[in-house]
Amino acid sequence: MSTIVVTPVFGSRTTRPVARPMARRVAAPAAVRLTRRGRLVLTVLFLGLALVALTVLGPTSAATGEAGTPEPTRTVMVQQGDTLWGIASSVAAPGEVREMVHHIEQLNALSGAGVYVGQEIAVPVGR
């Protein structure tokens, strides 16, 4: 098929028709489209790779196979009105209450200085 295109001829006041072949349209390559299942598979693969990477590259345990030095402790049951500061001050040397509070928190794996009635905590003896 051809179309007739009217183009002006330079130097003349008239135009004449010139036959030119029609340009063929070439279909653009189709974009990659993912189906719902494809997105699900890619998500699962990505999460799996992330889990493997975190497992391999993540922090390692600081625990060793060696036993630490044993420390003599006694168990204290928290009573109404008791605070960790009060318990630590009864055990600590003068001026070392803050360090004792921290030490008791570490011994009992406490996340803070809060204690509750009936809680049993380990307290160092003779420090």
The H or E element spanning position 17 is strand 15-21
Which carries the bigger pLDDT value, residue 71 or residue 6? Answer: 71
Round to whole Å and give the CA distance between 90 and 92. 6
Q: ∠ CA(88), CA(101), CA(78), 5° rounding?
A: 55
Query: What domains can you pick out in the chain, each with its CATH number?
Result: 73-124 (3.10.350.10)
pTM of the model: 0.48
Backbone angles phi, psi at 122, to 5 degrees: -85, 130
Please give the pLDDT value at position 33: 83
pLDDT tens digits for range 80-125? 999 999 999 988 888 889 999 999 998 888 888 889 899 999 999 8
- Residue 102 near residue 90, CB atoms below 8 Å: no
pLDDT tens digits for range 12-38? 555 666 666 677 777 777 777 889 999
